[in-house]
Structure 1
Amino acid sequence: MRRIPAVIAVVGLSALALVGCSSAPAAAGCERPDAGSSALGLVKAGGEPGSPTISLTDPVYAQSTSFTDETVGEGPVVTAQTQDVVFSIAIANGATGAPILETVTPVRSVDFWTTDYAGFATMLDCATEGSRIVGAVPYDQLSEQAAANWDIQEGQSIAVVMDVQKVYKAAADGAPQYNDRRGMPAVVLAPDGRPGIIIPDGAPPQDLAAEVLKKGDGEKVGAGDAIRVQYTGVNWADKKVFDSTWEKGASTALSLDAVVPGFAQALDGQTVGSQILVVIPPELGYGDQATGAVPANSTLVFVVDILGVDAPAADTSGQ
């Protein structure tokens, strides 16, 4: 039985974050702060975009997190803490210059990084995809566990080079579309884009019914793509939410060949930035089998925001 996958578990880094920023062009209403420091002149960034390296000419100390954009990208802008990002990062001990870490993060929201490395989230505030950010973060802006893991002592700092590789949409931001099909659910949106679904009285559509509520101008998605989405699912019969990435606090990536047929049909060929309302009859959903909180023979209603497409996983089969 195919199903909509659950949110992917955390992998990779233990968690990251900083504080500060520099002046750079950004989206309307998102002004990149200036948090430079003379100490940043001691941090030397190298490596190709997406593979940063770091070295220090002298010890680097910072009383508060400071950073500057060495390169300003021209891609999408981080305008919300709930936005998902991918960045590659190189970190060194500011006191000794010893390398600590070079890695690429998994897809995570900006606010994910605040628990152990809150400064990284601040570094990303109004940053643009394609930017290279050089920063310095003091001991007291790391969690005790993070500082211990990296052997950073009180009074010391870390030096950072961060390449912002991918910025996803926080929610569907396409152009609103006019729909007039009778008997369809209504959708209301919270300020952050979280949908509420109002199921009408009466019988649901007998066939698959899909409407584009917002039409994005991004790339088309299809089979084989790892489509990054936020969604809410409601059972037509009892009008209750049975699954929601919004409630779980994280987006998810799904493939159209790993979800119920009606969900796949509704999303195939849609564009990034779009919001889709779909009513799925039982035969294109879970059929006559109960699945989790979904009873057998249920008509399912989803509102799906298409936020982006994840990069393909690296092929290590030949290694």
Structure 2
Amino acid sequence: MIAIAVVAGAALTGCTGNSIAASAACDVKSGSGSESIRATGAFGKDPEARVPSPLNVTKAQSTTLIQGHGKKVGDDGVAEVYLTLFDGATGQIGAETSENFVPVTSKALGAGLAGAIGCAQVGSRLAVVIPPKQAAMFSAPEGSSIAAIVDVKSAFPNRATGRARPATPGFPTVVLAPNGQPGIVIGSHAAPTKVQSAVLRQGDGAVATKKDALVVQTQIVGWSDQTSATGTWENGSATVQTLSDGSALAQELLGRRIGSQIIVLTPAAKSGSGDATATVVDILGSIPAASIQQQ
């Protein structure tokens, strides 16, 4: 089976780390391969697609099947996409349709798919064909291209865009890599005994309510092992945080503005991991919480 996955970014727990390369420029053109693909069905649902086989390309191709009228996704952002992959050798589905919040970077998606999505407008449906070298990152059979039907539902920046705030005394130090990925330096700070939070960057977007689900990037470091980080920056895909689940994180994000970056300190008893944690959350945007419940 072909795997829908994104490649994790480089680990970052201090002030060093590799930035994620920007996606390809708008040079992924339509070609005979992508133009041969047909897809019908409702936008954002399982498409009824016809992929001729064998289908193989030496350079990525992208054809717009439905022209969206929203904003352009752009390089280095995060896109909410409905993605279905097909084996170019057989024309059969290699991975069922799934909803993903993906960083639009060549490191995460390969230059061809990232370039196609980055140049699309929100609301577009794309037919994309990826050459074998790039298809290998999706576990495609050796030498095979991959065809993809991509519905681009929404787009967000890949990091908090708010204004930096002065550091809060008593909180770990947070440093940013060039791509925006936080590094958390706990140092000699004592582990928290209660949930605490502070604003690192103050956004100017809408105030988050329980009716919202937040699209976020997270970086998490535990007090016991301060050299290992987890979270979306590590696994390569943004996530959605509902605000009505009663979790400590949800309570600290409720009432925050879109575009903010928040650090949350959680004691071991409430972290769910058995260790006290420091979590940096970049609030990229929001979608209706009801839309999550309907999926």
Deviation at residue 306 of structure 1 after TM alignment: 1.8
Structure 1 residue aligned with 2:157: 169
Instruction: Note closer, same or farther for the CA distance 1:314–1:108 as it changes in structure 2 (3 Å cut).
Output: same
Q: Quick check: 1:45–1:54 contact (8 Å CA) kept in 2?
A: yes
Structure 2 unaligned residues grouped into runs of 5+: 7-22
- Gaps in structure 1 of 5+ consecutive residues: 1-11, 18-28, 149-153
**3-state SS of 2:157 partner:** coil
Q: For residue 79 of structure 1, what is the amino acid of its counterpart?
A: D
Report the secondary structure of 1:286's partner residue: helix
Q: Could you say which residue in structure 2 is the equivalent of 1:23? A: none
**Number of matched residues?**
272
- Asked if structure 2 preserves the Cα contact closer than 8 Å seen for 1:218 and 1:272, the reply is yes
AA in 2 matched with 1:67: S
User: In the alignment, what sits opposite 1:188?
Assistant: 175
| 1:275 to partner: Cα distance | 0.4
In the TM superposition, what is the alpha-carbon distance from 1:78 to its structure 2 partner? 4.4
Once the two structures are superposed, residues 223-266 of structure 1 have per-residue CA deviations (whole angstroms, 9 ceiling, x without a partner) of: 46543433334567x793675313455444444455653x3332
Residue 270 in 1 paired to residue 270 in 2?
Answer: no
TM-score by length of 1: 0.61
- CA separation in 1, counterparts of 2:203 and 2:156? 13
Paired with 2:184 and 2:53, the residues of 1 have a C-alpha distance of: 57
Partner of 1:131: 124
Quick one: percent identity of the two aligned structures? 27
Alignment of 1:1-319 (within 5 A): 14-15=3-4, 31-51=25-45, 52-55=47-50, 62-70=57-65, 71-75=67-71, 77-80=73-76, 83=78, 85-89=80-84, 91=86, 100=93, 103-110=96-103, 119-137=112-130, 142-143=135-136, 146-147=140-141, 159-173=147-161, 175-179=162-166, 182-198=169-185, 209-223=196-210, 225-234=212-221, 240=226, 244-245=230-231, 246-258=233-245, 260-261=247-248, 263-279=249-265, 282=267, 286=269, 292=273, 294=275, 301-309=278-286, 311-314=291-294
Structure 1 residue 102: Cα displacement: 8.7
Q: Is the 8 A contact 2:72 2:119 kept in 1?
A: no
**1:312: how far off?**
0.8
Distance verdict in 2 for CA 1:241–1:303, change over 3 Å: farther
Tell me if the contact between 2:175 and 2:182 (Cα under 8 Å) persists in the aligned partners. Answer: yes
Q: Distance in 1 between matches of 2:133 and 2:189?
A: 58
Q: Any conservation in 1 of the 2:221–2:279 contact (CA below 8 Å)?
A: yes
The two structures, once aligned, show a CA RMSD in angstroms of: 4.7
Match of 2:61, as an amino acid? S
Residues 119, 141 of structure 1: 8 Å contact kept: yes
Give the direction of change, closer, same or farther, for the CA distance of 1:308–1:13 in structure 2 (3 Å limit). Answer: farther
Q: TM-score, normalised by structure 2?
A: 0.65
1:276 CA displacement: 1.0
Distance 2:219 2:53 in 1: 51
Measure the CA separation in 2 of the matches of 1:258 and 1:117: 35
Contact 1:171 1:230 in 2 (8 A): yes
Report if aligned partners of 1:116, 1:145 keep a CA contact under 8 Å in 2. Answer: no
Task: Output the CA distance in 1 between the equivalents of 2:42 and 2:51.
Answer: 18
- Return the index of the structure with the highest Cα Rg: 1
Does the aligned pair in 2 maintain the 1:116–1:146 contact within 8 Å? no
Whole-angstrom CA distance in 1 between matches of 2:57 and 2:220 = 47
